[in-house]
A and B are shown apart, each in its own frame.
Chain A
Amino acid sequence: MKKLKNILSNTTYGQITLSSLAICIISGVLLAIPFDIGNPFLSISSLMVLNPAASFIRNIHFWSAQFFLIFSLIHIWDHFNKSKEIKIKKAVWLRLSLGVVIIFLAMLTGFLLKGDADSKQAWRILDSLLSSMPLFGNILSLSLLGDEGSLQLVYIHHIATITIFITVISFEHSRKIWPKASTFIIVILTTSLISFLFTAPLHDGINATVKGPWYFVGFQEILHWLSNPEWSLVIIGVFVILIFIIPYGRKNTSFLSKRTLLIFSLFYILLTLSGMFFRGENWKWIWPWEKDYSYSVLHSFKTQKINVSQEFNEVQISISNIVNGGKESCMVCHDDVSGFTASHSPQAIGCFSCHGGNPFDGNKEGAHKNMILIPGNYEDADRSCGTANCHPDITERKNSNLMNNISGMISVDRYVFNEQHSPDLLTDIEELGNSAADEHLKNMCVRCHLGNPKTESGPVSEKSRGGGCLACHINYNEFSATAWHTRKSDINDTTYLNFHPSISMKVSNQHCFGCHSRSGRISTNFEGWHETTLSADEMPNNKDYRLVEDSRVFRHMEEDVHHRLEINCIDCHNSYELMGDGNLYAHQENQTTISCEDCHFEGKPNLVKAVNIDNESAIIASMRFGNITNKIFLATADRNIPLINTYFKNDTAYFLTKNQGKKFILSKPGETCTKGNAHDNVSCSACHSSWAPSCIGCHNEYDDSEPGYNMQKNIEKTGSWVEYIGEFNAHAPALGIRDNNGKQEVIPVVPGMVLTIDIGSFDKQLHDSLIFHRLFAPASPHTTSSKGRNCKSCHFNPITLGYGDGEFIIKEGKLKFESKYQNNPHDGLPEDAWIPFMGKPNNKYATRSNLYPFSIEQQKNILRIGACLNCHNDDSEIMQNSLVDYDKVLAEISNKCLVLFKN
């Protein structure tokens, strides 16, 4: 121990520097054997994965170089600090001063020789800086760096020119070639230990953050401030001059020079620390507590120790695929996995680009460290699906996607709870607080947003909610599904490792079912199923009833005609509707672009040539249907989105299903729809929705002791809102008016929120406060029938007009209404009504600010025609003529006719 103490006390910074230089040179020579300058990134990644010995030598070379730099600077500081007179010839001192810069150049050329993403950008920066020097900048850059894309010249300078210069000036300065043996041994042992524990960095090619080496990060921070970065070269020049004048200036000048260097060094250390620990992607400042800090800022610190237990052999790694220009250790163990689509196979994109982990670690544990088991959730979509090489233009839209931020759901709920004045305010699930409405949302509703992560592997099922990109794009084929099920039942089974779900565009209705069998129930409506209030035990045992996975019982109704034709959800709904288009929308009908008339058009369709469509649509169209050159697509009237599964040829519009390629000829609207202008403002769904769910009589109260769930954080809790259901009915929907910026349209509406809320149960200070609302919501029932409703179904149907179920009675020339339901004590209206008979609604009546019931005048106009239909058939001449000119028909009717509301 005493001997060791002696050795350490006799060791100087200069000796350590010299030892480090020797180790660096020796390890560099050894490293030249496996290193391929033609493919630097490939050769380095290969040796990291394959060859522990070569990787160890690389680490020694790296760490000894870092120590050489650090101890050179400490050595310089030590000399200046001791205030000894430096008696060196000027020429020698000039070379030593320049040598400081040359050392940095040696380090930098070594950094460039990695050939990874960091290095490539560093090459360009260096080229740009050198070229900016006046007169000889371009020549200097060419002489030092050569042509972009070839590191041959950089290699020569690194191993020869610069190394020789450094060796010569070191010898000139120290008069020694070999360091002291004892110092050398200590340094090599220390370097070896560090090299074993910490592998030299290599950029993975996926992470978007690119930075220079640690000793240049401070300089990079300075460059970031300068719009004319060539001025930074002046700093280097001043630096050299300050060092040079120290021994030769006057005492004051020398002192000033040392002080300036010290202050600048301290400042540079601060800049280095800020650049290393606070700068992330695009050199953005990121605080440690921010979400992306670890991935964006600290990724260059991720390292592993040398793997001495080889788990695969040279043959395996040599034949494994090259991915993103390098080797991945994942591929050696996982190259026998099937189930992928070609575009997302490991052969195409590797494993790391989706799953993360460490692609350069040959050890299973190390390779799997920080791996994302289920990538594609929105929380990590930016670093898996959304990297620069893949789908950044899609993931950047995720926060604006209504299916993620669920702004409409939140806003309406807060409106219903009287927490905000409008149901149309823009908000985001991330902004949920602890109010009554927000708690209600967390307990009851917000599981259905795409930001809700998929935490367990497995096929999409009726119970699936959320899952980010995977919500739509994950598919298990029969083999991967079988393997998954086998694994679920037998924890020791390992065959599942050979199968992987695919990521594809094969989006089935099943993918939509989990969330869209809730709320408006459009998934189940579409298939012809209406939810009942029956329990599983009460469900009749016949094919007219269905039990879904979450134990809800459905009764069979008329299915949507499109479903009967085996048309899927995605056949109508395009990528911008489902993944967002970057704009924020208040409600789902605003984000939706498709309308019936886009396909079932009268007259000239809205067309777009393939050459003029956006890239996303073009790619999807090509992938689904092959060569789209010269194709002409139909496009939506709203926002002109191409319907890539349509085409227009020889005056005929064709429609193809996206998953099966079934072909249809698109039909025009029926004559009743387009005859005259009587129904110009009536939407297709107003007539063609055969039924819609109509739910009434809900009561909500908060129970402090009720076992509940926080769907935002996915944790169980005590205390929850409890919903007591009323009735679930299914019949032809009521109709209302939607005002779209002055254009009015008759649309289906359903009871959105006809309910009571015991707000006092949540906020005890409100005591017995009860909220009652009668709000109807716009509906797109997805129960389209090819044959629309008959005329009386709209014109003489109390439900349609918003009065609720019941019977019209005409007595003595006057129309009366008898409701089926009792009047609600809160407002005196029938339980299922929207408005009073021939009346106006209450102040608050809809879940949208642009949705209205029929005005009294409109009710009269509708019913006046309805009275005619009591005698005249829909297809009678008089009713058909009324479509063209109703006023003329009204003027010519006989005395026998009953005309309601004459005055």
Chain B
Amino acid sequence: MPFEVNKEVSFQDDFIIINKEYKTKVFSSRCTHLGCKIDKSRNDQLICPCHGSTFDLDGNATKGPAVSPLEEKQFEIDELNEQITVKT
């Protein structure tokens, strides 16, 4: 997938890529409540459109009904080609 190093939060396929304080993290975009795809963020909170659960940029649930954090994924970044590969 394309990797945009400047973008703090990007939603690509089934993943959420977070670039914060010069560190990158990748999370599954599936909400831990019922698996809905999280596709938006607001004020540094990732928001599930189905039931309003929110997660911070470290993947921790900040508002229910979800309680579990988002699943973190392993990844590799190819800086030269600006690509990121997520290990599933």
Contacts and interface: CB of A to CB of B under 8 A. Distances in A.
B35 A615 contact: no
Given A582-B43, A615-B8, A124 B35 contact: yes
Contacts of B50: 121, 125, 210, 220, 283
Contact of B35 (A127, A208, A610, A618): A127
A223 interface: yes
Interface stretch (A48-56, A225-233, A743-751): A225-233
Candidate in B22, B33, B34, B37 with the most chain A CB atoms within 10 angstroms: B34
B49 A223 contact: no
B47 A615 contact: no
A128 B35 contact: yes
A580 B37 CA distance: 29
Interface string A278-313: 000111100000000000000000000000000000
A774 B6 CA distance: 48
Contacts of B42: 392-393, 396
B12 to A, nearest CB: 13
B37 A125 contact: no
A223 B66 CA distance: 11
Contacts of A120: 37
Contacts of B7: 615, 618
A618 B6 contact: yes
A129 B34 CA distance: 7
Given A129-B34, A223-B34, A227-B65, A282 B5 contact: no
Interface string A209-243: 11000000000100111110100000000000000
Given A226-B65, A229-B65, A284-B52, A611 B6 contact: yes
A92 B41 CA distance: 51
A224 B8 contact: no
A816 B82 CA distance: 71
A203 to B, nearest CB: 12
B64 A227 contact: yes
A124 B37 contact: yes
Contacts of B43: 396, 582
A282 B46 CA distance: 11
A607 to B, nearest CB: 16
B48 interface: yes
B66 A125 contact: no
> Interface residues of A toward B: which range?
35 or more
Interface in A241-294: 281-284
A612 interface: yes
B51 interface: yes
B67 interface: yes
A282 B39 contact: no
Contacts of A582: 43
B46 to A, nearest CB: 11
Given A226-B65, A611-B6, A208 B36 contact: no
Contact of B34 (A128, A208, A282, A615): A128
Given A582-B43, A614-B6, A224 B51 contact: yes
Contacts of B52: 224, 282-284
Interface in B32-88: 33-37, 39-43, 47-52, 64-67
Contacts of B67: 227
B79 to A, nearest CB: 9
A491 B87 CA distance: 61
Interface string B10-32: 00000000000010000000100
B87 to A, nearest CB: 18
Contacts of A209: 49
Nearest to A284: B52
A388 interface: yes
Nearest to A617: B6
A613 interface: yes
Contacts of A619: 6
A787 to B, nearest CB: 40
Given A125-B36, A392-B40, A281 B49 contact: yes
Interface string A890-901: 000000000000
Given A121-B50, A227-B65, A611 B5 contact: yes
Candidate in A224, A613, A614 with the most chain B CB atoms within 10 angstroms: A224
Contacts of B30: 124, 128
A209 B39 CA distance: 12
B86 to A, nearest CB: 15
A612 B67 CA distance: 33
A396 B7 CA distance: 17
Given A121-B50, A129-B34, A281-B49, A225 B6 contact: no
B15 to A, nearest CB: 13
B49 A210 contact: yes
A224 B50 CA distance: 9
Contact of A282 (B4, B49, B66): B49
Nearest to B39: A388
Nearest to A613: B6
A121 B65 contact: no
A331 B32 CA distance: 39
Contacts of B22: 612
Contacts of A611: 5-6
A614 B6 CA distance: 5
B34 A124 contact: yes
Interface in A556-573: none
Contacts of A229: 33-34, 65
Nearest to B40: A388
A210 B48 CA distance: 10
A108 B66 CA distance: 24
A220 B5 CA distance: 37
A615 B6 contact: yes
A209 to B, nearest CB: 8
Nearest to A211: B50
A220 B47 CA distance: 17
B36 A121 contact: yes
Contacts of A388: 39-40
Contacts of A393: 41-42
Contacts of B40: 208, 388, 392
A113 B66 CA distance: 27
Interface string A391-412: 0110010000000000000000
B36 A124 contact: yes
Nearest to B11: A388
Contacts of A396: 42-43
A863 B73 CA distance: 68
Nearest to B14: A148
Interface string A130-170: 00000000000000000000000000000000000000000
A614 B8 contact: yes
A129 B49 CA distance: 17
Interface in A603-631: 610-615, 617-619
A284 B5 CA distance: 33
A392 B39 CA distance: 11
Candidate in B5, B22, B30, B49 with the most chain A CB atoms within 10 angstroms: B49
A396 B44 CA distance: 12
B74 to A, nearest CB: 20
Nearest to A120: B37
Contacts of A128: 30, 34-35
Interface string A514-534: 000000000000000000000
A530 to B, nearest CB: 43
A396 B41 CA distance: 10
Give 3 closest A-B pairs by Cβ, nearest first. Answer: A128-B35, A618-B6, A615-B7
Given A128-B30, A282-B51, A392-B40, 8 more contacts: A121-B36, A124-B35, A128-B35, A209-B49, A283-B52, A614-B8, A615-B4, A617-B6
30 contacts: A124-B30, A124-B35, A124-B37, A127-B35, A208-B40, A208-B49, A210-B36, A223-B34, A223-B51, A223-B65, A225-B65, A227-B33, A229-B65, A281-B49, A282-B47, A282-B48, A283-B51, A283-B52, A284-B52, A388-B39, A388-B40, A393-B42, A582-B43, A611-B5, A613-B6, A615-B4, A615-B7, A615-B8, A618-B6, A618-B7
